[in-house]
Amino acid sequence: MILPNKYKAIISMAIRQQLVQWSQLVGRIILYGVIVYLFYQVFQSVKAEPNRVWYLAITEWVILSTSSVAFQISRDIQSGQIVYFMLRPMHYLVFRFCECMGTSLVRFILLGFCCFLLGFFLIGAMPEKTYLWTWITGILFSILGVLLYSLILVLIGLLSFWIKEIQVLVYLNLTATFCFGGLIVPLDFYSDFLKKISFCTPYPWILWWPAQWLTDTVNLSHAFLGWSFWMFFLVICIGILYEKCLKFFVVEGG
Amino acid sequence: MNTIVVQNLVKHFSTALKANGSFYQRIKNYISPRHYTVVAVDNISFTLKAGERVAFIGPNGAGKSTTIKILTGIMQPTAGYVEVLNQKPNIHRKQLTYQIGAVFGQRSQLWYHLPVQETLALLGAIYDIPSVEYQKRLGDLTEKFNIVPLLNKPVRQLSLGERMRCEIVASFLHKPSVLFLDEPTIGLDITAKTIIRDLIKEQSEQQGTTLLLTSHDTDDIEKVCDRVIIIDKGKLILDDSLNNLKTNYIRKKVVSVVTEEEFITWDRVGTTVLMRSPHHLKIEIDLTKNTTEKVIAEFLETYTLKDLTIEGPSLETIIQTLYRHDITQ
């Protein structure tokens, strides 16, 4: 699929806007460093294997890279700014998604450097799987994780048409990511029942899959199929919901 | 050629009633809410020709925004016929976006942290303007709106007046045939307001752009528009030229006279004395009961006039009167 030039231009603008807001980037890097360091200390005290720190560094990398597109969409809907965007020859949601991708890309690259520097500095060694292609595919999978997570946030943002305050939903989503995605502890540590529940949600394909691929083993075809299913499912849901939102917008004003 | 055709436009909103009372009633209402219908636009019709500059005004909640949203295709009408540039907005919204533009005084289309130039370039890409054509239009508009020195400044560093000039350039960049302006001068100082009004009018005259202006500032209307459409409670209450509005809808005039005589006595039908001092009298004429010519003739018969001034009400007063339905139909 070829992305039209207008959407490429939006991604490029978002990248520049994110680079200009360097203080926000520094804050995010500090937050990332503190989280990884704290858990490194915790894992050391329980004598966990070094790969656990790498696992956490990778999952946090994915989560902190993703732009808060849900709040952006919510603000547009609540303030009526969405009307301004709908008067342009572009798809509003694709515009916001591209903007989110641009912002996330800058964060992903910077936090990626931090992830490997910090991981190497704290552990003193790379994860066990150090083949170059493993790393390249691992990074690609992490990008896919960011994509999937962004789609969930777009879906939550759209719910602003009905729910005035989406903050609760965003926090619930974060909690679900924490629990079902294996943000801190890999899903292999879960009981069978909890693991089954987790795999019924999209969250393992956001965090567990890329982190597990880089630090342990994972069935690549299963993982990719699961990711594709959730991407397809979410795109369909967002499409239907957006159409409903437009109808609602037409009815209620805005 | 008509650019906008609106015939018997109706828009109803169905709004859920908020439940009060017991917990049971609230739950019941939540499961099966009762609705009531709000008539936002009530059977209005008008047409706009190419290049016309029309003020579309009314008090808050009159139905202006709803009508504009229908004209832009964002909302669907409940009934009636709408055509913008020979297209039905609710069906051809995407195609229409290339030919229409909007300026909302209280919102911004510029990227806050980036230089103005970058947003303009992005808009060039969004509207698929070829590079050479974009450079030409950018050069013309930036020079005309005097924003060349602002192009490399981040938007956050611009004053409100500067930002509005950039917003308008951004809206004219794709040469829209119809431009919707919503309070384009809100919050600006007098100098900035004058500049913005002049530039909008000049640009519209040169490009033949149809303007539909919504503003509570009557100076915006007077300086930019030739025609006024007033709606209230969803109904069209007036559609006339600005000149006709000023001449036909004036019910009162104020006459001030300076006379040779020190004491002036005055008591005539349809007039009210507003101020009386030695050699000076100020009266208000109710034009439904008397005429200015008659009053002046009577003055001339009785007193020796040294000076005479006649003042009509401001456009603001006329519009306020119309809003109050205080005018003879």
DSSP characters over A150-215: HHHHHHHHHGGGT-S--HHHHHHHHHHHHHHTTSSS-GGGS-HHHHHHHHTSSGGGTTHHHHHHHH
Counting residues of chain A whose pLDDT is more than 70, the rounded percentage is 95
Six token digits for residue B213: 């202006």
How many pairs of residues across A and B have Cβ atoms under 8 Å apart?
Answer: 70
pLDDT of residue A215: 81
B184: β partners: none
Kind of pairing, strands B280-286 and B252-259?
A: antiparallel
How far apart CA A198 and CA B105 sit, in angstroms, is 48
B-chain residues near A72 (CB < 8 A):
none
The DSSP annotation for B168-199 comes to HHHHHTT--SEEEEESTTTT--HHHHHHHHHH
Residue B314 has pLDDT above 80, yes or no: no
- Helix %, strand %, coil % for chain B, to 5? 35, 30, 35
Extract the tokens encoding B63.
């139905």
Residues B19, B30: contact at Cβ < 8 Å? Answer: yes
Torsion of CA A212, A216, A222, A223, to 10 degrees: 20
The separation between CA B223 and the C-alpha centre of its own chain, rounded to angstroms, equals 11
> Which pLDDT tens digit goes with each residue over A194-244?
999 999 999 999 999 888 888 887 888 888 899 999 999 999 999 999 988
- How far is the C-alpha of A177 from the C-alpha of A70, rounded, in Å? 15
**pLDDT, tens digit (0-9, with 9 covering 90-100), for B42-73:** 999 999 999 999 999 888 888 888 899 899 98
CB A62 within 8 A of CB A207: yes
Weakest-pLDDT range from A112-126, B74-88, B133-147: A112-126
Average pLDDT, chain A: 89
Rg of the Cα atoms in chain A: 19
Strands B235-241 vs B280-286: parallel, antiparallel or unpaired = unpaired
The stretch B232-251 carries a mean pLDDT of 84
Cβ-based neighbours of A127, under 8 Å, separated by 6 or more: A50, A51, A54, A119, A214, A215
The mean pLDDT of chain B is: 88
Q: Phi-psi region for residue A76, left (φ > 0), alpha (ψ -120 to 50) or beta?
A: alpha
Q: Is A16 exposed, middle or buried (0-12, 13-18, 19+ CB in 10 A)?
A: middle
**Rounded to whole angstroms, how far apart are CA atoms B295 and A243?**
65
Do the chains contact at B125 and A84, CB–CB below 8 Å? no
Contact across the interface for A87 and B13, Cβ inside 8 Å: no
Structure tokens at A153: 């946030």
The residue type found at A5 is: N
3-state helix, strand, coil in chain A (%, to 5): 80, 0, 20
Give the CB-side neighbour count of residue B175, counting CA atoms within 13 A: 12
Instruction: Give the integer Cα–Cα distance in Å for B214 and B186.
Output: 11
Encode pLDDT of B114-173 as tens digits: 999 999 999 999 999 999 999 999 999 999 888 999 999 999 999 988 998 999 999 999
Chain B positions touching A21 (Cβ under 8 A) are 113
pLDDT score, position A254: 41
Comparing A138-152, A224-238, B9-23, which segment has the lowest mean pLDDT?
B9-23
Lowest-confidence region among A163-167, B131-135, B213-217, B249-253: B249-253
The whole-angstrom separation of Cα B171 and Cα B98 is: 11
**Is the ipTM value over 0.95, yes or no?**
no
The pLDDT assigned to B151 comes to 94
A90 min Cα distance to partner chain B (Å): 7
Judging contacts by C-beta atoms under 8 Å, the chain B residues touching residue A89 are: 94, 97-98, 126-128
Rounded CA separation B277/B264 (Å): 8
Examine the pLDDT at B319 and tell me if it is beyond 70: yes
For A213, residues 6+ apart whose C-beta sits below 8 A from its C-beta are: A134, A137, A138, A141, A220, A223
Q: What is the pLDDT of residue A129?
A: 63
- Token pair for residue B58? 């009314």
Q: Is the pLDDT of residue B25 over 80?
A: no
pLDDT at B237 over 70: yes
User: pLDDT tens across A1-19, in order?
Assistant: 678 889 999 999 999 999 9
pTM strictly above 0.90: no
Phi, psi of B82 (to 5 degrees): -130, 135
Kindly report the nearest CA distance between residue B217 and chain A, in angstroms.
Answer: 22
Gyration radius from chain B CA atoms: 25
Q: Can you give the pLDDT at residue A193?
A: 92
**Statement: residue B270 has pLDDT above 80:** yes
- Checking DSSP bridges between strand B53-57 and strand B210-214, what pairing results, if any? parallel
Q: Which residue has the tokens 């040469």?
A: B175
Average pLDDT on A127-141 reads 80
Residues of chain A positioned with their CB less than 8 A from the CB of B72: 83, 86-87
3-state SS, residue B49: strand
Question: What is the pLDDT, as a whole number, of residue A250?
Answer: 55
CA distance B204 to B178: 9
Q: Residue B80 has what pLDDT? A: 94
Q: Is the Cβ pair B127, A89 closer than 8 Å?
A: yes
> Does residue A23 register a pLDDT over 80?
yes
Task: Count Cβ atoms within 10 A of the Cβ of residue A134 and give its class: 0-12 exposed, 13-18 middle, 19 or more buried.
Answer: middle
Count of structural domains within chain A = 1
pLDDT digits over A58-114, tens only?
Answer: 999 999 999 999 999 999 988 888 888 889 999 999 999 999 999 999 999 999 999
- Which H or E run contains A92? helix A92-123
| Residues of chain B with C-beta less than 8 angstroms from the C-beta of A90 | 126
Q: How confident is the model at residue B325 (pLDDT cuts 50, 70, 90)?
A: low
pLDDT for residue A253: 44
pLDDT band, very low/low/confident/very high, at A32 (cuts 50, 70, 90): very high
- Closest partner residue to A253 (CB to CB) among B13, B93, B126 is B13
The boundaries of the domain holding residue A236 are 5-252
